Structure 1
Amino acid sequence: MSIKKVTLLIIIILLIDQISKLYIKTHFQLHESLEIFNWFKIYFVENDGMAWGTTLSDIIPFISESTAKLCLTSFRILAILGIGYWLIHSINMQVSKTLILALVFIFSGALGNIIDSVFYGVLFNDSFGQVASFMPRDGGYGKLLFGNVVDMLYFPLWQGNLPEWMPLIGGTNFIFFEPVFNVADVAIAIGFGILLFFNKKAFPKKEENI
């Protein structure tokens, strides 16, 4: 894949991700939902941590939430720089198109969420009990590098009480699929899915000369 095609695909994914987030942030209050189908809802939540809302301070309890947030955002930036370098190197070395495509999706998704983490705290006020404003006069809800990631895609495919005979979790209410995510998360999942299911095409073995 050429650098032009890669750049265009990255821009398209980022635009879809950021436009969807900007719309949700400026039209929904936090935890407001809109049912599209009984198995799909637009549900606005904000994630200040890692996957499923886990924060670094949950794992390392002796550090403050602000320090944990700063460390997480810094790690994400370093990670995206590493992925970007791998992507550019792969293009220059003309490796498998499958690997490049996977890296494009992973890079685009990671960059989309980093934009939220780095800039959204400055660009928007909070969404508690109100619809947020873009570039508010009184400033945003946080500082640079302290923004929250906007999530909105919710697929509660099944909800009900688990059978009583199931150990530990029997009788409890269960939702499948419970996590709320965004377009950037979908892009990352697609990228890893390509690497997982098309591993041999992504990393073809070099034929040895006999």
Structure 2
Amino acid sequence: MSKKNLAIATILIALILDQIIKIYIKTNFILGEEVLVFDWFRIHFTENNGMAMGFEFGGETGKLFLTLFRLVAVCGIVYWLYSTIKSKVHNAVIIAISLIFSGAVGNIIDSVFYGVIFDDSTNKVATLFADEPYGKIFHGKVVDMFYFPIWSGNLPNWFPFVGGEPYTFFQYIFNPADAFITIGVAILFIFSKQAFPKD
């Protein structure tokens, strides 16, 4: 398989998987609903109005700025991927950049379109292509569902920042797109010499 086809296949598989899982969660779960898979792994439906890990800023204007920033960032990733394919680097680097691109686009799809194709998930299951959507274009909410509360308890007082307080590791809820970005970055780190040659 050529490097170009490898990139296209990785992007398509990742994007389709991301959107299938998000649409399934959105159309089968009520906001806040949770399914226990294991003690350390749960499916917990939540929506993210802002940046990664639930951070928000600037209200509606901040949300629009964030979405536009993501679109610009994706253009940069496309150029990076194109340049990498032409330079004939290791296939792992192509896969890594393709995963990062897929993750960014996956969350952009939520932010741009979900507000105009879904209705609200509060106290009911959302409808796809709803007559009364919950938002407007560029102001959609990102769907998150993977929750890994591997350990909960009180950390020692000497522990920096959270010592002496109740703490859960890992407390953040994320989605497939976030996972693809993380995996892509990890692969780049492992293959850093091939991804960022000194010459």
Question: Could you say whether these structures have the same fold, taking a TM-score greater than 0.5 normalized by the shorter chain as the test?
Answer: yes
Give the equivalent residue in structure 1 for 2:122. Answer: 128
Q: How far apart, in 1, do the equivalents of 2:160 and 2:15 lie?
A: 44
Please say if 1:116 is aligned against 2:105: no
Give the equivalent residue in structure 1 for 2:33. Answer: 32
* Native 8 Å contact 2:48 2:141 kept in 1: yes
* Native 8 Å contact 1:24 1:44 kept in 2: yes
Aligned length: 198
TM-score normalised according to structure 2 size: 0.93
* AA in 2 matched with 1:110: A
Please say if 1:182 is aligned against 2:182: no
* Native 8 Å contact 1:99 1:203 kept in 2: no
Q: How far apart, in 2, do the equivalents of 1:115 and 1:122 lie?
A: 11
Deviations 1:159-185 (A, max 9, x none): 112335657644321101000001111
Give the equivalent residue in structure 2 for 1:62. Answer: none
Segments of 4+ in structure 1 off by > 4 A?
A: 164-168
Q: Percent identity?
A: 51
Give the equivalent residue in structure 1 for 2:138. Answer: 145
Q: How far apart, in 2, do the equivalents of 1:165 and 1:107 lie?
A: 40
Deviations 1:124-177 (A, max 9, x none): 001111110001122x11110000110000000001123356576443211010
Say if 1:3 and 1:132 are closer, same or farther in 2 by CA, change over 3 A: same
| Gapped regions of structure 1 (runs ≥ 5) | 58-64
SS at match of 1:188: helix
TM-score normalised according to structure 1 size: 0.88
| Gapped regions of structure 2 (runs ≥ 5) | none
Rg larger in structure: 1
Give the equivalent residue in structure 2 for 1:61. Answer: none
Report the CA distance between 1:51 and its aligned residue: 1.2
Report the CA distance between 1:95 and its aligned residue: 3.2
Say if 1:204 and 1:172 are closer, same or farther in 2 by CA, change over 3 A: same
Deviations 1:73-96 (A, max 9, x none): 000011011101211222133234
Report the CA distance between 1:43 and its aligned residue: 0.4
Alignment partner of 2:184 out of 152, 174, 191: 191
Report the CA distance between 1:41 and its aligned residue: 0.1
Cα RMSD, aligned residues only: 1.6
Alignment partner of 1:104 out of 70, 85, 98: 98
Report the CA distance between 1:202 and its aligned residue: 1.8
Say if 1:28 and 1:89 are closer, same or farther in 2 by CA, change over 3 A: same
Say if 1:4 and 1:167 are closer, same or farther in 2 by CA, change over 3 A: closer
* AA in 2 matched with 1:10: I
Q: How far apart, in 2, do the equivalents of 1:34 and 1:168 lie?
A: 31
Give the equivalent residue in structure 1 for 2:79. Answer: 85
